[in-house]
Structure 1
Amino acid sequence: MTSTDHPDPVAKRPVALVTGAARGLGAAIAGALEDAGWAVAGFDLAPSATTLSVQVDVTDASAVEKSVRIVESDLGPIGALVTVAGIYEELPIDDMTDSVWDRMLAVNIGGTINACSAVVPLMVARGSGAIVTISSDLGVGGSQGDAHYAATKGAIVGFSRSLARELVSDGVFVNSVAPGAADTAMLAADSPWRAESFLQSLPVARLVRPDEIAGAVLFLLEAGDTMVGQLLSPNSGATI
């Protein structure tokens, strides 16, 4: 675990923690939060272009907890948590070995739980906070060749809704965003989700843009007690 770019603690802005902030959807969300006036701490294995970049493995609960303490020391109280860190691969069920399952579970649902476990007690103690977890449209509808990924993303939905019920009386509001296929590097050039036949099946005939997903996250973070345990799904109309 390493941290970089320690900021001036005098510059006080509301603090958001974004996991998986170095690239793709996480970078888009972190950038949108920075533009909206948040000081963003980015957790990732690689450096992120955020107010505070912390290189940490989200599957390591102890390292995540230590990194959260760094954020609170350098930036101040964490007011928002967005759990984006995740991996994706397309694989037939017959090819899913124990190690493949273990890795997908450890990063996607394990990383989400580790981040929440480290931040929630701090938010509860202060009586305020907002959490947005990133699930997937596949976690709701499933998909051929994505069973392990869909399983972890479905688990995030159940976890988040349960957490929302548990924490609402403490002033902490939990919601989720379940994007459809997004135009990021996570989707390979030859991915079936980029095939023209799939794109033409969508009402808007294109992949979801990262900025659209970031907009859904910002909406939930700013919604206060009007949104509790909800699931927004920017998906280009794939699921209506």
Structure 2
Amino acid sequence: MSRRSPMTDRPVALVTGGASGIGAAVVDALTARGYAVGCVDLHPGAAENTVAADVSDADAVSRAVSELRDRLGPVSAVVTSAGYYEMAPVSEIGEDAWRRMLRVHLGGLVNIARATLPDLTATGGSLVAVASELAVGGGDEDAHYAAAKGAILGLVRSLAAETAGSGVRVNAVAPGPTDTPLLALDSPWRAPEYLQTLPLRRLTRPAEVARCVEYLVCDATFSTGDVVNVNSGAVI
């Protein structure tokens, strides 16, 4: 178990994108495991201990982490779930779209890691990044998203190697299409024709991804640099 905060008598977790979707499910799972959870999100909503910040803004992330540390105590678990999804043919992806996708996903992970690694080193903590099945298998009209998520996997493995000696564990989950508001109702990933190609014949559920994150944070003390594929069998 990670060290407890003297402020809350509970270990402290930080979740980006914790206001909805997979992030909200992770907040629920870690809270149930006894963590005091703070969130960084563009749209805080009703989540307790949430600070509004754009994860692509390093200064804003640093301020948000400092504020949550002041409220809750040193962070011993970090989950980076903030992100967005869009489809476009590669010929129609402009330079701004490429840059924004990389800033939010890869840059967001870099910014959170830099801001929290001192705490994680001190607490012997765990970082879990939310990547994507598309980082592993690619996808039609998903080039910039798949590239950004693929870069996350490379960074996770490098961070795992760099921090292992200090007791920090760094892992990733790679969900397939998941039943969250991120997927529009008319998304091709929701089409019955696509779902029939999956071994489980359905979308992944946010709570299922959260259970894998919880496992990596709380139980997989032997694991670092690993990627857990949570995708209804889309990548086997």
**TM-score interval, smaller chain:** over 0.9
Q: TM-score, normalised by structure 1?
A: 0.93
Segment of structure 1 superposing worse, 27-36 or 73-82: 27-36
Distance in 2 between residues matched to 1:233 and 1:185, nearest whole Å: 21
1:64 aligns to 2:55 (yes or no): no
Distance in 1 between residues matched to 2:46 and 2:232, nearest whole Å: 28
1:96-125 superposed Cα distances (whole Å, 9 cap, x missing partner): 00111111111111111100111012322x
Q: Secondary structure at the match of 1:178?
A: strand
> Once the 2 structures are TM-superposed, how far is the Cα of residue 49 of structure 1 from its aligned partner?
4.2
> Once the 2 structures are TM-superposed, how far is the Cα of residue 24 of structure 1 from its aligned partner?
1.0
Which residue does the alignment assign to 2:205?
209
- Give the root-mean-square deviation of aligned CA atoms: 1.2
Which residue does the alignment assign to 1:181?
177
Distance in 1 between residues matched to 2:31 and 2:47, nearest whole Å: 8
Amino acid at match of 1:229: G
> Once the 2 structures are TM-superposed, how far is the Cα of residue 86 of structure 1 from its aligned partner?
0.6
Distance in 1 between residues matched to 2:46 and 2:204, nearest whole Å: 23
Residues 161 and 230 of structure 1 are in contact (CA less than 8 Å); yes or no, is this contact kept in structure 2? yes
Q: Describe how 1:85-164 pairs up with structure 2 within 5 A.
A: 85-124=82-121, 126=122, 128-164=124-160
Q: TM-score, normalised by structure 2?
A: 0.95
> Once the 2 structures are TM-superposed, how far is the Cα of residue 224 of structure 1 from its aligned partner?
4.7
Residues 127 and 170 of structure 1 are in contact (CA less than 8 Å); yes or no, is this contact kept in structure 2? no
> Once the 2 structures are TM-superposed, how far is the Cα of residue 204 of structure 1 from its aligned partner?
1.0
Which residue does the alignment assign to 1:194?
190
Which residue does the alignment assign to 2:37?
40
The percent identity for this pair of structures is: 48
1:165 aligns to 2:167 (yes or no): no
Q: Describe how 1:8-23 pairs up with structure 2 within 5 A.
A: 10-23=7-20
Q: Secondary structure at the match of 2:163?
A: helix
Distance in 2 between residues matched to 1:169 and 1:142, nearest whole Å: 33
Which 4+ residue blocks in structure 1 deviate beyond 4 angstroms?
Answer: none
> Once the 2 structures are TM-superposed, how far is the Cα of residue 50 of structure 1 from its aligned partner?
3.8
Residues 30 and 50 of structure 1 are in contact (CA less than 8 Å); yes or no, is this contact kept in structure 2? no
> Once the 2 structures are TM-superposed, how far is the Cα of residue 127 of structure 1 from its aligned partner?
5.1
Distance in 2 between residues matched to 1:132 and 1:169, nearest whole Å: 17
